[in-house]
Each structure stands twice: as structure tokens, then as C-alpha cells.
Structure 1
Amino acid sequence: MRVAVIGAGVVGLSTSVALLRRGVDVVCYEAGAPMGERSAGDTRIFRLAHLFPDMVELAARSRSLFSGWRERAGTTLVEPVGTVVSGAGAGRWADAMAAAGAPHELVEPGSPRLRLPSPTFAGPALLDPSGGVIRVDRIRAFLVEAIGDHLRSARVEAVEQTPSAVRVRSGPESDTFDTVVLCAGAGTPGLAAGTGLDVPAALEHHLRVSFPIRPGAPEPLQCWITEEADGVLGTYQHLAAAGTWAVGGDVAGELVHWANGRPAAEQASVRALTAYAAEHLPFVEPRPVATVYCTHNPDLGDGLQFVRQGRVLALHGENLMKFAPLLGDLLAQAAVDGSTPPDAGPNATTR
């Protein structure tokens, strides 16, 4: 069996490695650097905490699979510092955690259980002790080594189904496969449309900014997800490179609209996130020292959606890094047996 995986982000690499472990002949296509766009950066947040019990359960399964990756990689891939979700909606997250049987605790600002870059914030706070910092840099090195020479540096221009196979065209070259898995990030909708699949295509610019951590901050700082404050519609925050704190946020849509262009959106995001840090994060110096840019679909939330048309299978969703080993297994198995994994999260009942 031959399978093409389009896209070498973390999901594409995970799927390719899972297929190789099943003895499948795999080619993973990538036009740029592996994990260079939506999987970019050195760290991300892992969390069991979600608003939907099925997502909590899937995150728990993924956390277990990360342990298997850790043994094969020979290094820690998720640093267990914990994750905190704060704000008036924290109770809803706690309800989903309880329904899934996941360990959690609701606390108020000032609790000794908290280690955040600010001692004051709008409470309550959900403590997810299974959460932590995903070491993206280590995962990238592990997956790239595991896939070896099955990674093909080429931009895929079209995916075309024939009665007996799927043709993948990249420049003047083409190759045929039994199955194609599309996980090409922003490139997925265009490639999917050529096969009869409808995948959400909206895009906006997104930026994560890192700031120096001031001396005296609690150690180790927990990952933190907050609600709206001062023009930032919500933030996610975590340790980045040594001594720096990454802050990403849902900046007002008109500032990061796709038509505005990347430079203007980046400048607006840096201003908004720096102002947020200056106002709300006393243990952080509001001086940007690094940024990570990616594209983002504003119409997708915390959820997983799988679609299939014949021999072509596609995935779309946001915040997928924490599900990487699980998604790799699910997509690999579906590629082998012709199935479609069930959706999860807010769209789980729409199929």
C-alpha cells in the first residue's frame, strides 16, 4: 500500500511515522521546512482542559501516547508544570473535566496552588495538573529523524482521484498512491476542493510574542489561558525559550484580517500584546524579544473534524499540537482501512 501525506506539520509528520510503523510505503510532501508554519516555535501548551468532555478524553489519550514518544525520543517532550484556565467561564471547563473523569481543581486568585506571571486576575481558575509545556523543538527533531528519507521536498499543486488511485502533482512530476491524507494547514482547502471535499478556508494572521521574565517570578510558571482583557479577546501564555514568556491572543478581528496583510497585522498584534503584558503581567517585562507567526482560521475552535471523499482523507481544526500523536494514529489507521474518524468537540454531532 502507498500513501501520500500532504504537509509536514506536526500532524503530517505524526501520521507519516504512524504509517511507517504499520509497514506502509509513505511519501510526506512539504514545500518548506518541516513544522515550519502552523507548527512553528519551540514550545506550546498541553492541556486536558477543554469545554467538551470528548475533547478532554482525547487529550488524555494523546497524553498517554506522548509517553510512548518520550521513550522512543529519549527525552522529555511535555514538561508537567500544569495549565491554568481563568475567568468567569472556568466553571464550564471544570464541568467538562468532571464529566470526563479528569483530575482538576477550581481555585481563586491568590491560591498557593497557582504559579502565574500575575498574582491578581479575574477568577476563578481551573487548575489542570496534567497540563504543561510541549517541547516542540524536541518533537520536531524526533519526528524528522523518524520519518527519514520518506520526506519529499516539493510543493503539491493538485490532488486528483482516478478510478483506481490518487494522483499527486508537484511541478512537472506526478506520482500515484492508494490513499492521500491532507493535513497541509492553510493549503488544505485548495487541494481538498479539487477532490470534491469542502474544508473551511477562512484565514487571518496570528502572532505570538515573547517577553523577558522578571526576577522573582514564581517557578516554574504554569501555562495560562485567560479570558478577554483590554482589546485582547483571550490569551494563551506559556514558557518559551529560557527566561522568556510567550503570550498569544485573539486580537480584534479587524486588526488581523487577512486583507490587511501580514506586516500590518503583526505590528497591530505586537502593540496589543505588549500593552496587555504591561497592564496585566507584573512578572513580565513588556519588551518583545521574539515572535512566532502563523495563519489561523477564525471559524474553527477547539474541535476536530475529519472528511473523506473516496481515497482522500482530510483533517481540519485548530490547536492540534497537543493531539499530535493521537491524530497520527487515527489518520494512519483510517488511511489503511478506508474509514473516517469521528469528529470531536463542538461539531461532533453535525455529521
Structure 2
Amino acid sequence: MKIGVLGAGVVGLSATVELIRRGIDVTCYEAGTPMAERSAGDSRIFRLAHAYPDMVELAAKARRLYTGWAERAGEALIDEVGTVISGDHTSAWAAAMAAAGAGHEVVEPGSPLLRVPARLSGPALLDPAGGMIRVDRVRTFLVTAAASHLRQARADKIESTPGGVRVWSGPTAEEFDAVLICAGAGTPALAADAGIDAPSALEHHVRFSFPLRPDAPQPPQCLITQHTYQHSSAPGTWAVGADMDPAAVSWEGGREAAELASLAAVTAYVTEELPGVEPRVIDRLYCTHNPGLSDGLQFLRQGPVLAVHGENLFKFAPLLGELLAQSCIDGSTPTDAGPNAA
């Protein structure tokens, strides 16, 4: 059986590595550097905490699989510093964790259990199984494991054939029994070739990094507030990303305007709400994403072509690798999760 994977972000690489492990002939197409777009950066938040019990359960499965990856990689892939959830959604997320049987605790501001450089105004949810994914280590592990199966070429289009799917890269074509599309912003156009309608709207997003003050709590827990996500991106450095007014980061408005608006909003937030952080930008990370998808997993199939999309997928990477590999082999479609499953 031959399978083509279109896109070498963390999801595409995870599926490729799992297909290799199962003895499948797989080729992963990527025109640029693997994990250089939506999977870029040096760290990501891992958490069991989600708004839906099914997402909590999936995250717990992914955490166990990350342990297996770490054993194969020979180094830890997640720093288990914990994750804190703060804001109006705290009680709903705590209820979802309780329903899924996941360990958690709700504490009041000022609790000695909190180690975040932020000023919290209400109860906070502690997710002790949360922490920080070491993206560079994951990238090294996956790229090394997928090495000879990576093809540095852009998948320009796909078309159905009597026996499967043809993938075109420039004037060259190769036929596969099945194709998996996980090409980030490029997914909608490729999926459309197969008659799959994937979300195509895009908006700009920027994550900024700031210096932690010497007296900031150590080691800091990852933090998710009502409109921000925050975590250590390197020793002594704090990364902050924010939900923005869609009009300020619209695709039509352009990247430069979106970056300026995001910089102003995030810097103001850091100045007002993060006493443990210096409001001085020392790094930034740009990416695109689909507005409105939020947490959740959605899978779309047409014949031998399977497409996956969602947001915040990094924490599910090893689980998605298993689910997508199995679906590519047997022609099934994984079950949607989170708000998409409603």
C-alpha cells in the first residue's frame, strides 16, 4: 500500500512516522522546512484541561503517547511544570476535567500552588499534568524518524484515479492508494481538488516574547486566561499570544497592520497584568490560523482522500499520528471531537 501525506507540520510528520512504524510505503511532501509554519517555534503548551470531556480524554491519551515518543527520542519532550486556567471559563473546564476523571484543583488567587508571573483576579484551575512541549526536540525526533520518506516538493494538486489518487508536484505526478492532507493554510485548496470543503478563512496571528523579571515565580506554570495563552519559551523568557478583534488581524488587512495591532494589545496587557514580566519585546513568532475553529478536531473524507483541520493541534500530535495512520490504511474516518462533534 502506498500513502501520500501532504504537509510536514507536526501532524503530517506524526502520521508519516506512525505509517513507517507500521511498515507502510509513505511519502511526505513538504516544499519548505518541516514544522516551519504553524508548527514553528520553540515551545507549546500541553494541557489536559479543555472545555469538553472528550477533548480531556484525548489529551490524556496523547500524553501517554508522548511518553512513548520520549523513550524513542531518548529525552523528555514535555516539561511537567503544570498549566493554570484562569477566567470566566474556569468552572466549565473544571467540570469537563471532573467528568473525564482527570486530576485537577481549583484554587483562589494568591494560593501558594500558583507559580505564574500574572495578577489573577478569580479562581484558577490547576492542571498538574500540563506543561511545556519542547518543540525543537519533537521536531528533531520526527524529522529523523521520517528522514528517507520526506520529499522536498510542493504538492500542487491532486486528482482521483481508478486505483487511488494522483499527486502532482510541478510537472511530476505520483499515484497513491490513499492521501492524507494536513497542509495547514494549503489544506483547503488541495482538499477542494477531491471535493472536500475545508475551512478556508485565514487571519494573522503573532506571539511575542518578553523577559521574565528576576523575582518571577520559578519554574513558571503555563497560563491560559480568558483571552491569552502564556508560557516560558526559553529560560528567562515569557511568551504571550492574545485573541484579537477579528477586524484587527483580518487577512485582508495585511500582516503588517495585524502585527502592529497585536503588539500594542499584548504589550498593554503585559504592562497592566503581568508584574513578573518586563514589557519589552525580545522575540516574535508569526503564523496564520483559521478563525473560529478554536479547540477541536475535525476530519473530512472523500473516497481515498482524508483531510484534517483544527487549532491547537500540537498537543495531540502523537495521538493524531495513530488515528490518521489507521484511517489511511483502512479507509475509516476518525470521530470529530470538541465543539465540532456537537
The TM-score by the shorter chain falls in which range? Answer: over 0.9
For 1:150 and 1:104, locate their aligned partners in 2 and report how far apart those are by CA, in whole Å: 41
Structural mapping, 1:202-217, within 5 Å: 202-217=201-216
Q: Deviations over 1:94-148 (max 9, x none)?
A: 0000000000000111001000012x32211000000000000100011000001
Q: Deviations over 1:226-281 (max 9, x none)?
A: 01xxxxxx000000022100001111111100001111211211111111111110
**Equivalent of 1:269, from 239, 262, 266?**
262
Q: Could you say what secondary structure the match of 1:248 adopts?
A: strand
For 1:267 and 1:137, locate their aligned partners in 2 and report how far apart those are by CA, in whole Å: 28
**Identity in percent:** 65
1:336 and 2:329 aligned: yes
1:46 and 2:39 aligned: no
Match in the other structure for 1:291? 284
Match in the other structure for 1:192? 191
- Runs of 4 or more, structure 1, over 4 Å off, are none
Q: Deviations over 1:271-308 (max 9, x none)?
A: 11111111110110000000111101112011101111
Match in the other structure for 1:308? 301
Match in the other structure for 1:37? 37
Residue identity in the other structure for 1:126: L
Match in the other structure for 2:235? 242
1:157 and 2:156 aligned: yes
For 1:333 and 1:165, locate their aligned partners in 2 and report how far apart those are by CA, in whole Å: 17
Structural mapping, 1:102-141, within 5 Å: 102-118=102-118, 120-141=119-140
For 2:198 and 2:121, locate their aligned partners in 1 and report how far apart those are by CA, in whole Å: 37
CA contact (8 A) 1:255 1:268 kept: yes
Q: Could you say what secondary structure the match of 1:260 adopts?
A: coil
Residue identity in the other structure for 2:81: V
Q: Deviations over 1:30-79 (max 9, x none)?
A: 11110000001000000000000000000000000000000000111010
Which blocks of at least 5 consecutive residues in structure 1 are unaligned?
A: 228-233
Q: Deviations over 1:155-190 (max 9, x none)?
A: 111011112110000111110000000000000001
Which blocks of at least 5 consecutive residues in structure 2 are unaligned?
A: none
Residue identity in the other structure for 1:7: G
Q: Deviations over 1:315-342 (max 9, x none)?
A: 0100000000000000000001111010
CA contact (8 A) 1:202 1:299 kept: no
For 1:65 and 1:335, locate their aligned partners in 2 and report how far apart those are by CA, in whole Å: 19
Q: How far does residue 149 in structure 1 lie from its aligned partner after superposition?
A: 1.4
- Structure 1 stretch 267-276 or stretch 206-215: which is displaced more? 267-276
Match in the other structure for 1:93? 93
Residue identity in the other structure for 1:2: K
Q: How far does residue 210 in structure 1 lie from its aligned partner after superposition?
A: 0.2
- Structure 1 stretch 240-249 or stretch 92-101: which is displaced more? 240-249
Question: Aligned pair count?
Answer: 342
CA contact (8 A) 1:88 1:122 kept: no
RMSD, matched Cα: 0.7
Residue identity in the other structure for 1:75: E
For 1:251 and 1:214, locate their aligned partners in 2 and report how far apart those are by CA, in whole Å: 26
CA contact (8 A) 1:42 1:137 kept: yes
For 2:89 and 2:42, locate their aligned partners in 1 and report how far apart those are by CA, in whole Å: 29
